[in-house]
Amino acid sequence: MAHAACNNPTNWLESPKDGVKVLIGYEQDLGGRFASQPANGLDTPAFAPPLPQDMQAKSGQGTLPKGEDKSVVSYYEPDAKGGWRVCRKEDWFRRNEGTRPASIARTEKNQSRNASVAPLLRSHVMGAARVYLYDPKGRVQETFAAAVYEPEKSERVTTHERQCFRFNDQNLLQLYVSATTTNACPLGDPDPRDTWRRFRYGAFKNDRDQTENGSLWIQWHYGKEDGRWSESIVFRDSPKPSPERHGGNASVDSSKGVTQILGGFNIGLRDRSDGPALKYTDASSKPIEYYFTKPPVPVSILDDVDQMYRHDRRRETQVLSGIKLVEFYPAGAHQPRDRFYIAAGRTLRQEQYDDTGKLKRAINLGFVGLNKKDGGFYAEDLRGKVGLKLKDNTLVYRVWDYDAGGNASLAAIGWDTRFASAMREEPLDLAQLAFGLPDGTVRWKREEDFFKAFDFDPMASRAYPDSVANR
């Protein structure tokens, strides 16, 4: 780490006097180079912007603005490229009747050696310094603030707001750490109690046949003092979009590991699904969401997505507005035994499959999404299947059994017994239900018996074993 002549590691409050340029009342726009929590490593330059040419001849010049209680003195050191880079910024405050004698004495001790700032001692005190440190290649490595933050208790110099940067051989940001808990830059892996960002990159050919770098991994880590943490990870196996590229946005925490992958594309391809392809109107595939129901799930599944099959998982896909398809896959299995279309926590349609993956039964609630051709999600045809005496009644539940050839037959129904209920549009919860055969014969007296007879799961609870376990 390069301290150069700009900063004294034994006394961070001491102003340098040799080998630097001093600009009084000047603060350079660093263009976000040292902004906290960078969102994308590609947008974080490794090198500080050079001091503008027109300012290089103004060292030792300038004054602190009159009428302002706070101003800045900036320091620059050689950048080994023939220019100058910022290495220190000091906050100076105008003296008044409330200025502590200790602050005056400390400023006289630490700043009087520099002839450029010595004249300021009559009217100002130095309060805090922002220190910038660079690695041997001239890349920013660390920045922090130094001050006496509790002068009424101690004159001890403390540092905070420490930010750490680590770059790869291509000068791309690999690691950013906001050392909020440890107040120290890591030599190896960052401390889980701190907040940090980690980045990976890949090369690809652009449209002009030029090689460019793109992001493969963006990891946001949020630590707590007690050691708990959570992460959001954007992962890709290729930096350039393509039909074969896979990835998603994962959530991770210290107790459960990976809990979900949202916005997934080309993941879980072995997990079979018997429904229609779910597309947007522009024919692009809808993103898939995976939720892992039996923790812990290691982060390594994001580097090798086939590892996800080793874990219990639920897949959710948006079908229509407010309606989603939910499928549960036990570890090592790729064929769900049940598929649920749900809305507001209620099963609108449950499909049951045999060991070979063939549909054997479907149970529908209401008439939402009736026709696949019209953008719905099932196509059983009720025409001629229900007795005439029920023609004026709303059919609330419909149970279809499928034969080996894929042909559906209506096996049972649940209907609203109120007179002419089919002529009214009312909430299903107001229905006075009877359960029986398609000809109108009552077979089950209670809703619970009807559900049990056909293994109907009205809340899709078997797709949410994690929620059931927490009840």
SS3 of residue 197 by DSSP: strand
Q: What number of other Cβ atoms are within 10 A of residue 189's Cβ?
A: 9
Which contiguous run of DSSP H or E holds residue 353? strand 346-353
> Which of 90, 89, 86, 82 has its CA nearest to residue 33?
86
Task: Render pLDDT for 282-292 as a digit per residue (tens, 0 to 9).
Answer: 667 777 899 99
Percent of the chain with pLDDT over 70: 92
pLDDT score for 80: 86
Q: Tell me, what's the pLDDT at 278?
A: 65
Domain boundaries along the sequence of the chain: 1-165+178-184, 337-471
351 — pLDDT class (breaks 50, 70, 90):
very high
Rounded to whole angstroms, how far apart are CA atoms 271 and 312?
12
Which of the four pLDDT bands, split at 50, 70 and 90, describes residue 150? low
pLDDT winner (highest mean) among 33-42, 148-157, 185-194, 316-325: 185-194
Radius of gyration over alpha carbons of the chain, in Å? 34
pLDDT score, position 469: 54
What is the pLDDT averaged over residues 213-222?
A: 94
Kindly tell me if the per-residue pLDDT of 428 is higher than 80: no
What is each CA distance from 338 to 200, 320, 357, 366, in whole angstroms?
39, 19, 10, 19
Residue 416: beta bridge partners? 433
Peptide bond into 296 cis (omega under 30): yes
Give the model's confidence band at 437: pLDDT under 50 very low, under 70 low, under 90 confident, else very high: very high
Report H helices in 156-272: none
Q: pTM of the full predicted structure?
A: 0.86
pLDDT of amino acid 374: 53
What is the average per-residue pLDDT within 80-85?
92
- Reported as type and span, the H/E element at residue 56 is helix 53-56
Of 159-173, 205-219, 403-417, least confident by mean pLDDT is 205-219
Q: How far apart are CA 401 and CA 383, in angstroms?
A: 16
The more confident residue out of 2 and 260 is: 260
Quick one: pLDDT band at residue 471, thresholds 50, 70, 90? very low
Mean pLDDT of the chain: 89
CA atoms within 13 A on the CB side of 204: 14
Over residues 90-119, the pLDDT tens digits come to 999 999 989 999 999 999 999 999 999 999
- 75, two tokens: 């320091």
Paired strand residues for 202: 214
Closest CA to 378 of 357, 347, 354, 355: 347
